[in-house]
Structure 1
Amino acid sequence: MKTYLKNEKGVILIWFYLLVVMLIITSGSLFALSFQESQLTAIDQSRNKAFYLAEAGIDWKLKELRSGTTPATPSFAEGNFSVSYCQSTASGTTPAPAAPCAYDQPDMIISSGTVSGITKTIVAVILKQKPPGAKAGITSEGNMSFNGNIAVDGRDHDANGNLTGDPGTYGASSGGIVTQSGSSDIGGNGFVPTSPANPASIQQNADNPFTTPEELLGLEAGSLDQYKTSTPPSEMPFNGIVYYTGDSWIAPDFGTDADPSTGILIVHNAAGNALLKNVHGTFKGII
């Protein structure tokens, strides 16, 4: 049987202690590394969540600007957003809830999302562009005739029907002539609807280089195909886009002041001679 000298036993004990110490140090290092990685992962997750909340703030403010009313503020399991809207002083007006931006800056939405003390900020630049060929509340390539008690107002209104202060566009723009009779009123470009219309409210013999509704609205060819219908909408009033391709639409009823049709109405056939006649009710949008 092999025996160990006393000093040999001491050497073995020292090596054992060293092994234990090394295991403890290694375990501690691994734990510290794991804890640090866990912290970094949590920080990355908070950054991502803060970014998504900032995006939610942009969407929320856009809904407010489109509708003219303040939507309900959403609640989140973690964090929150704060959002502001500033309008360029170069545009001449600063409607609530906008604050003025610097003179040389465009209109902007500034949204910040915060989660666990981490904040991400997004700035969205708003480029408000009117469709290049939509020069009026009602734009037509052919002659236009207004009679009865129809009222057309090209001035800018919010979703509640209140004037925004923006003079807007022509009430009517025609590639031919515009005639008025009866109690019809036309207004636009800052002028109240009257009969006869202020000359600045209507455009006659307009030079229109556009041959399709898509071109008129500044869209790619075929962009409006999904909205085309050869029959008038079965449900009225309508909200959104209606592209009627029939030859004529007689006596449509667009609804009431309390429940109007809204959006974009296009009446256009392949021959370019479609007719919209004897309209009734209230429509908010462009035709």
Structure 2
Amino acid sequence: MIAISHCIKTVLTVAGLFILTTIASLDAQAAPLALEPSTNEEVWIKVPSPVAIDWYEDSCRYDHTEYRTFKDYENCIFKSLAQADNLQSRKWGLSDRVIREKDTIYINTPNHKQPLVFKDYLEPFEEEYRAHYQLQDYDKSHHLLQLLRTMYETQATVIVDLNTGRWQELYATNLKFSSDMNQVVGFNGRQGVTRDIIIWERQKADNDGRYATIFASNELYEQDYDNDKKHEVYEARDISWTSDNKVNVDFYYRVNPTDTVAFRVRYIYAADNKEGKWQRVLPDVNTND
């Protein structure tokens, strides 16, 4: 039985949507073979013990048929999301601007009479069309709010400029912006497997400041998978910019499904100084890392 916790620090899904959480093990398509990393440095970290997601208490049940009516199920889900989102909004000092009421997040922005509206879609027996939002991150220095949009088997991130009210949806998670905010990188995946590393760039000719894809590495998608060798610790993935034209992308894997330590596999992506073309840095290249 699967349950959804009130504490939505771990990314969980609602009503048949794709679940990202700490799990006991991944299936046979959940861990990639060793795509040649950018560094041979051996790094290990401690990771939490895998737990079954049905161990959480005070939570809504995954299967809506366990409720007397679908309305009862909705009430539980939306109450849980409202508690988590409004608590997070207060922590960020945004409670007067960002509010969730039941199935809807309202965002008030300057010079706009009406708020931005992000509404969940939740209907019985239509799992593949369901979607919900939740507050994900807030960059106070740039007034940039992120909403996580969870859909069937995948997720996306909505970035909202609280100064202008402009927003854009990027089909990736764990977004990390370069120091000048001109570029952003994130993970794209489906069914618990990271498939692509995507990089976007702010369009200078676009007055809206929208981001457009300039690089997508589908190497992770194309390679074969071998669960006997590695088990991805999905929630430990990390992205870090080392300069405005170089980024480290770190994955961590358990050797055994129940291990509490994991080893790092690092891929480095960099833009050519002359052409500005992004590519994966190979081990025999000086990365100055």
TM over 0.5: no
TM-score (normalised: structure 1): 0.24
More contact order relative to length (CA 8 Å, sep ≥ 6):
2
- Structure (1 or 2) with the greater strand fraction: 2
TM-score (normalised: structure 2): 0.24
- Structure (1 or 2) with the greater helix fraction: 1
Report which of the two structures shows the higher radius of gyration computed on alpha carbons: 1
